[in-house]
Amino acid sequence: MTEFNHRVHNFCAGPAALPESVLLRAQSELLNFRNSGSSIMEMSHRGSIFMAIAAEAEARLRLLLSIPDNYKVLFLQGGAHLQFAMIPMNLMLKDQPMAFADTGYWSRRAIKEAALLGNVITVTSSKNNADTAIPEFNTWNIPDQASFLHYTPNETIHGIEFDWIPDAGDIPLVADLSSSILSQPLDVSKFGLIYAGAQKNIGPAGLTLVIIRDDLVARAPKNIPGYLNYATQVEQGSMYNTPATFAWYLANMVFEWLLNLGGLSAIAKINQQKAELLYKCIDDSDLYSNPVRRQNRSRMNVPFILKDPNLDKVFLMESEKNGLLNLKGHRAVGGMRASLYNAVGIDSVKALTDFMREFEKKHG
Ligand code: PMP
């Protein structure tokens, strides 16, 4: 492994790059948090200092996403995976199937977990196009009665992203926004429940965000364990047990960083520019390719393959030497992948595309 005495360009899919200013601030506050005499990690989550941070984080998130008043915000643990179980446990209605759109690896994982708990109907599948496009909504087969409709707006591994929001009428829409939350403005009112693991666009691993509409909080049956019950978590302000305090504190600073940048429309513009730069580099080349239908290309995760797979190892070695890290594609699909989350600067994408063009000249 190459050693560095400076920070690199980090294209990791998650846990992902964090804004440097946030890390520096955390570093400066690590031993003695704002003259309290101890680290934020060493304080009670119920003390006034931490409670103020928790409230600030929620207020900032509400501002960023314009979350309507009839939605609750939870800061939980267990990652997106725990939500794969909590959602069926809380939202499943008697004799009403759970409807899922299958658009890749993570929707399949959500389907697999839900199927352990109840009746699942898959309303569409991108398997038919080898996960290179989102099937049109008018081909989806949604039952009249369903407990909810679940989909994955951005598939982190295949690099496909919805540029529209499904409308299933009265059926509550549930979205796994793990890899695209806070990357652009979002109309929260279209959703029944949104969830996201923090480790991409929110903060460090260990924190999971859930945004849930009031009428769905009350749907939870009484006989599920307290931690897993949204109603309990709402009543207890996400403090039914000891929360991930340090991660919550860092997320608060990431929200502040986003607000200072100008909010989600500002970051969306930057994200668009970053993605365009990289896709253009891929499309202009004879060596690299991306199979995803243009309108479904993810702005956050850009997979690409090299014409000659024998070059993969050399590409990874040379890119790493140039300070461009974590470009190996997910083991499920191979090739390369660059994740361009909010904290990845446009300078990093320029460094990557410069490298890719040089590499093609040498090896193409
Ligand atoms: N859903 C999506 C879209 C993801 O990208 C990931 C993680 N890469 C997960 C779910 C799983 O997240 P976790 O590890 O937090 O359970």
Evaluate: CB of 238 within 6 angstroms of ligand 1.
no
- Known catalytic residue: 94? no
Q: Let me know: does 202 contact 57? Beta carbons within 8 Å.
A: no
Q: What type of residue sits at position 82?
A: L
Per the CB < 8 A criterion, the answer to whether 245 and 50 are in contact is: yes
Mean pLDDT for the chain? Answer: 97
The pLDDT tens digits for 114-132 are: 999 999 999 999 999 999 9
Confidence of residue 27 (pLDDT cuts 50, 70, 90): very high
Residues 176-195 have a mean pLDDT of 98
How high is the pLDDT of residue 105?
97
Give the percent of the chain with pLDDT over 90: 97
Helix (H) or strand (E) holding 48: helix 48-65
Single-letter amino acid code for the residue at 260: N
The reported pLDDT for the residue numbered 218 is 86
Residue nearest to atom 9 of ligand 1 (CA): 80
List of residues 6+ apart from 36 with CB closer than 8 A:
43, 49
Is residue 330 in contact with ligand 1, taking CB distance under 6 Å? no
Our measurement of the distance from residue 310's CA atom to the centroid of its chain's CA atoms, rounded to an integer in Å, reads 31
* Tokens describing residue 195: 């969830």
- pLDDT attached to residue 301: 98
Distance from the alpha carbon of residue 162 to the mean position of ligand 1, in angstroms: 17
Report the alpha-carbon distance of residue 342 to residue 184 in Å, rounded: 10
Residue nearest to atom 11 of ligand 1 (CA): 80
What ranges make up the beta strands (E) of 309-355?
324-325, 336-339
The alpha carbon torsion through 186, 189, 194, 198 (nearest 10 deg) reads: 40
pLDDT, tens digit (0-9, with 9 covering 90-100), for 263-304:
999 999 999 999 999 999 999 999 999 999 999 999 999 999
pLDDT tens, residue by residue, 82-91: 999 999 999 9
CA distances for 51 relative to 35, 42, 94, 204, angstroms? 17, 14, 38, 19
The pLDDT of residue 364: 80
- Give, using CA atoms, the residue closest to atom 10 of ligand 1: 80
pLDDT at 1 > cutoff 90: no
Q: What is the pTM of this model?
A: 0.98
* Contact 176 CB / ligand 1 (< 6 Å): yes
Q: How far is the CA of 78 from the centre of ligand 1 (A)?
A: 11
Q: Is the pLDDT of residue 327 over 90?
A: yes
* CB burial of residue 205 (10 Å; 0-12, 13-18, 19+): middle
Q: Is the CB of 81 under 6 A from ligand 1?
A: yes
pLDDT of residue 302: 98
For 357, the token pair is: 């063009």
Among residues 106, 248, 274, 328, the one annotated as catalytic is 106
| Residue 163 annotated among the catalytic residues of the structure | no
Q: What is the pLDDT of residues 60-109, one digit of tens each?
A: 999 999 999 999 999 999 999 999 999 999 999 999 999 999 999 999 99
pLDDT confidence of residue 245: 98
Spacing, Cα 37 to ligand 1 middle (Å): 36
Using the mean position of ligand 1's atoms as its centre, give its distance from the Cα of residue 123 in Å.
21
187: pLDDT strictly greater than 90: yes
